[in-house]
Each structure stands twice: as C-alpha cells, then as structure tokens.
Amino acid sequence: MALPKRKHSISRTRKKLTHNKLIAPQLVECKECRKLKPTHMVCPFCGYYAGREIVKIELKEKNKEQK
C-alpha cells in the first residue's frame, strides 16, 4: 500500500477541506400561497408548480369524535 513520503502542510490540508461545508437550501416564494419552497419543486403547501396545480393537497381536519 502506498504511503506519503512527506507530511502535507496545514495550509495544504485546509485548502482541501474548504469544499467540505454545508450550504443552506435555496428557497423561493411560491406564487400561489406566498410560502417559501425549494426551487424547481412542487410547493408542499398548495401543490402548485409553474402556475399549474400538480398535486391536490387535502387539508387534515381535526376529528372532534376523538375528544
């Protein structure tokens, strides 16, 4: 198995590790319901994408019978 001949410097190691970072997801405002949603995805709140209803979202109502 190959082994390094010399130790890598701290700056060289850190340069390599600069790309290992977390990035926040890019969010845009939905044109229908005005809530934030991920780009290029169907809105999870209203089900619209590009001005058309793709998924029908049913609201969950609380059952009064359970109480």
Question: What are phi and psi for residue 31, nearest 5 degrees?
Answer: -75, -20
What's the token pair of residue 18? Answer: 């600069």
pLDDT value at position 1? 83
Query: What global pTM score does this model have?
Result: 0.55
**45: exposed, middle or buried (C-beta count within 10 Å: 0-12, 13-18, 19+)?**
middle
Return d(Cα 67, Cα 64) in angstroms, integer: 6
- Polymer length in residues for the chain: 67
Whether the per-residue pLDDT at 66 is higher than 80: the answer is: no
**Per-residue pLDDT tens digits for 45-56:** 999 999 888 888
Using alpha carbons only, give the angle 56, 60, 61 rounded to the nearest 5 degrees: 135
**Per-residue pLDDT tens digits for 11-40:** 999 999 999 999 999 999 999 999 999 999
